Amino acid sequence: GAAAGYNVTYDYLALVTPDVDDKWIRVIQQLGYTTRRVAVPIEAKDIRNPDLVATINQDGRLGANEMAKIEPFLFNEYDRVLMVDSDVLFHRNFDELFVGDDTDNDNNNSNNVALQWTAGGILSEPMNGGFLVINPKARDAARHHDAILDILREGDYDPRTGWKNSGVGGGTYGGLTVQGLLPYYFLHALNGTASREIDRCRYNNMQQVQRCKDYAVEEVTSNHFTGDCTKPWQCIAAGRGRGLKFIPKGQESSVHPMCTRFQEVWWERWTDLAHSVGAPTERCGTGTFVSKHLYDRL
């Protein structure tokens, strides 16, 4: 619901690429989302750098499919689009992201801010691609979309020096797509204009930096199960390796106590959902993923 003082209405969209199975589309829709199929805006064969073509689909979580995240720049039926990864968990209202001033702080041009973003967890990741507030009605939103694709199509990328020898995107997870191209374009090519940084500790808390660890849980609007905060459904304790294994309740993220609280909230919500669809509510240890529980019952 809308926060006091704001008049914001939401549509809940799930962007799905053409390769997503129809059964999953039905699952997503029964969870209350409207699905919107989006074609990946560029194919690897259209990139003029053969080395980039050979590696882009092994980079990041989704390879070239990550570029579907820039399509909301063209969703001009909306005033704002909050584009988040599916491992982001919300704890409180975020209307202020949708109604803030669009004036660019550097040149005072109204309706110029096309993107609000948070920093990543390490120096090589200046912008995290899992939490993007896009303004499709910004003056140059469509031009930004096309310019980003032109940079990718040109393919001037080196894994050591990044995009156009800028140092941006080199050695970065997802640096060949969104987590390299967006910071290169908005922070380097446009010199920080047309975008605005928002507080990563409040809106995209992954721990990782001491300032975010020092936040009170009550100050966090949303957290991201990445970085120091492992995904609760994978049952991996922070700092204890990558293999699936049972972690006793309360010890899921003992290295980062705030992550444990985030995971507890996730499990509470999973329990409510599982009850509603008749799925098992046990945590971990069963060898059955949460997603399969839903897939079998919806």
Q: For 197-216, write each residue's pLDDT tens digit.
A: 999 999 999 988 889 999 99
Q: For 229-248, write each residue's pLDDT tens digit.
A: 888 887 765 444 444 344 45
Joined together, the tokens standing for residue 222 give 């949303």
**C-alpha neighbours within 13 Å on the C-beta side of residue 95:** 11
Mean pLDDT of 253-261: 75
Q: What is the pLDDT of residue 231?
A: 87
Mean pLDDT of 126-149: 96
The model's pTM is 0.87
pLDDT-derived band at 297, boundaries 50, 70, 90: low
The pLDDT of residue 6 is above 80: no
- Average model confidence (pLDDT) for the chain? 84
Q: What is the pLDDT of residue 242?
A: 41
The pLDDT of residue 274 is above 70: yes
pLDDT-derived band at 123, boundaries 50, 70, 90: low
